[in-house]
Amino acid sequence: MNPSITICCDFNQFSIFLLVIFLFVWRKGRVSRRGICLVGLCESGKTLIFSQLIYKKAVESFTSMKENIGVLDIANKGTLKLVDIPGHERVRQRFFDSYKNTARGIVFVLDSFSVNKDIRDVAEYLYTILSDPVVSSNKPQVLILCNKQDHPLAKGPQVIQSVLEKEMNVLRNTQTNQLEAVAEGGNRKSFYLGQEGKNFEFADIRSLRVEFAASSAQTEDFENLKKWLQSVA
């Protein structure tokens, strides 16, 4: 046989071998990630959601300063590890850094009544999470949970999505301008959330699937959240 053909075959077999190894390691990493991180500003309702889902009852909660961890049984899909991350600005990044690598999903909880007032803080925290290098690399599914829907003046998920997209757009422009000013020789930092040349939309974040849903921890309305958990598990 022609030696060059032999080398070519060996090379092809070696590439397939590498691809199989890569797929195996990638799938194993994804399968072994069973965490669901509950994140969001203080008072958005994370701990009440956590206690309703894990203990099936409301426990009186105060501003959390440490995480809560519990196990969720998902029908026919095994278990997920639910982690309630405190929303306090001083500690939330530290706790998120400890659990983000294990996240199969991230539930970003917001208060649908106070969202307009807090829109800058909500958008900043969400932006930090979505542009986190570990998040963009592991690609957990993301649910933006519009909680406190029982409040008579609560905004619905569609309205919240559009307000949040506008705010994220402003934030992205500010951050991009800052990066351009700081970068040496005008070199832009490569990471960009969404699509360049158009206004920010969640659907344009190619590496992440971001969905919106409504809930009320007060009235135990978790229908959408439970459907999402079932699909993620």
User: Which among 111, 114, 54, 57 has a CA at the least distance from the CA of 84?
Assistant: 54
- The least distance separating Mg ion from the CB of residue 46, rounded to whole angstroms, comes to 5
Residue of 52, 64, 138, 149 interacting with Mg ion (CB under 5 A): 64
Q: Residue 108 has which token pair?
A: 């970003």
Which of the residues 199 through 228 are near ligand GTP (CB under 6 A)? Answer: 216-218
C-alpha distances in angstroms, 222 versus 9, 218, 229?
55, 10, 10
Q: Work out how close the CB of 64 gets to ligand GTP at its nearest, in angstroms, rounded to a whole number.
A: 3
Cβ proximity to Mg ion, 84 vs 167, nearer residue: 84
Beta partners for residue 77, in sequence order: none
Q: By CB under 6 A, is residue 118 in contact with ligand GTP?
A: no
Span 122-181, contacts to Mg ion by CB under 5 A = none
**Interface with ligand GTP, residue 68, by CB under 6 A:** no
With CB under 5 A as the contact rule, the residue among 44, 45, 47, 155 that binds Mg ion is 47
C-alpha span between 124 and 139 (Å, rounded): 19
What span, in angstroms and rounded, lies between the C-alpha atoms of 99 and 88? 16
What is the residue type of 190? Answer: S
* Smaller CB separation from ligand GTP, 42 or 159: 42
Site string (138-177) toward ligand GTP, x via CB under 6 A: ---------xx-xx--------------------------
User: Edge-to-edge strand order for the sheet containing 210-214?
Assistant: 68-74, 78-84, 35-39, 103-111, 141-147, 210-214
Query: Is 213 within 8 Å of 228 (Cβ atoms)?
Result: yes
Could you list the residues that contact ligand GTP (CB under 6 A)?
A: 40, 42-48, 61, 63-64, 86-88, 147-148, 150-151, 216-218
